[in-house]
Amino acid sequence: MFFKLACAFVLSVVTVGWTWASRRRERFHQNRSIKTSDFVTAETLAGGGEGVGVVLPVRGVVSNRTRDNWHTQVETKHRGEVAFVFVVEKETDDAKEAAERFVGGAAAASAEGRGGGGSARGVVAGSAENCSQKIRQQLRGAEELGAMMGDEDEDDGRSRRGFHRRFFRDEKRSKNRIKYVLFLDDDVMLYPSTIGSLVSAMEKDEKETGGNALLATGYPLDLVGGAGDGTSSSSSCFANYMTMVYHLVLLIPFSHGKYAKNVWGGCMLFRLEDFLANACKVKEAYETGGYSDDLIVAAAADREKRTILCPGDALFPMPLHPKQTVGNFLNYFHRQIFVNDTYSDGHMKFINHGMLLAMFLSSLCLTVGTVASAIDIALWLWTLAACSKTSSLSIAATEKTNVVPSLAFAVFFAHFLAVTRAKKMYASCVSLCERTAKTSPRDRKNTTSPTTRSASQTSKKPNAGRVARSGFNRTNWFKVWLALCLVYAVAPFVCAYVYFVSDEVTWSGIRYKKSRGKVSKVFSASSTR
């Protein structure tokens, strides 16, 4: 009885959350009726003239899909200067050659008038020793931006371990040209207006609060159906659904439209000067055993009472790999839960362990309540079928068949309602993606230029709106429900394993060992201890 009630309660909470998130996305989609104080309006999507440095940590083999994503990232129409820094781990990294070719190709395209409006370069970060490799590369990229801002002479004698620097165009370097640093995952798609929207949110906060916001962030929209626009396979697998449902609940806190309590590490826009000056001790936490870039920032913002901005259009369509296996998902799931047992201080430990406990209890109630309800319904149906085959029924059997397991049926109705609300929320997100793609500065320019419009129509480059719609149309929502049940059935065991047993995790071929919440050792996944 308790677990069934608890299960119904958990499902009711997420149903309300998905309904609220859907309405918030719809309101932003219809932003003409929204006060300008609530959201970044469509007129500000191109942003102001503040410079942005985009740091992209890249590693390993670079797929065609990743290259397509790079194209969407460098084709920003932000009004200010934009500098892209591709950061690889080492000189022998497979990603180094791919990044060099891409930067060189972008430079050639710009010379012919086909490129974006920014500059690009690559640097080598070196292997991490006491933090995650991603954080190591993020820090190295920020240092490069700081050097660009502070030095007039590019060849000042310092060893920056950079590879061939090629630029989209020759640029006149000036101090304080770059105001913001955007840490961006290399596997996400951008709209031409995305960077401008993030910058506009930060600039508006600076005018209204004096700069209380620590950063601006966004969140990915997982698509299980593939890109569907000719750029990649449109097939999918069940492991994709398992990845998708894990993020379903997390979409709720990122749907307010202005503020968020959480941070997504795939998109974090800081003021460069603040980050390099160790604002809220984020940089220090990164350097001293940092593993999770986003949870460190979220805890620091909460500790220092700083806000986290999340513009409503900061959604990043992310087609999942069509050949992902269940083993790949379990490793990913382990890594996601693992971060909740990493921390830089007591405040972060309290928050992360609280989230770990909440995940354990809610998933346990959801699983036990669902299984108990299924057993109750199965036993009732079996008794009903058995009694129908006999002409003489005992009083006890008759009474048993007359007692319908109402609570059990209510639990499954709650499942049905939750999935329908999740689908509605996803539909709202997809519509917003399409709207943002259509209202981007590039598209508005295309409507006035026949030459540009013709080129756009024939372009085979991925379009975030098309990708989002195609992926949504291919989604099987029965599989979504089934994956929801399976993922949260596994979650209690993974939570217990992470907290009581596991002190290591493998991420992209690198093993990390933690001690007292911090990374204490980094070594190759193929090496022996």
Per residue in 192-231, is it b (16+ CB within 10 Å) or e — as a string? bbbbbbbbbbbbbbeeeeeeebbbbbbbbbbbbbbbbbeb
Domains of the chain, residue spans: 1-35+212-260+290-529, 49-187
CA–CA dist 292, 340 (Å, integer): 9
Residue 451: the pLDDT is 32
Residue 260 DSSP class: E
pLDDT in tens, 289-327: 999 999 999 999 999 999 999 988 888 888 888 888 899
Mean pLDDT of 137-164: 66
- pTM for the full predicted model: 0.85
- In terms of average pLDDT, the best of 65-74, 108-117, 320-329 is 320-329
* Residue pair 65/468 in contact by the 8 Å Cβ criterion: no
Mean pLDDT of 111-139: 80
Mean pLDDT of 194-198: 89
Residue 175: the pLDDT is 43
**Residue found under tokens 């195609």:** 470
CA–CA dist 361, 387 (Å, integer): 39
pLDDT in tens, 441-490: 444 444 333 333 333 333 456 677 888 888 899 899 999 999 999 999 99
Residue 498 tokens read as 């992470």
Residue 40: the pLDDT is 42
Residue 35: the pLDDT is 40
CA–CA dist 439, 382 (Å, integer): 57
Residue 301: the pLDDT is 96
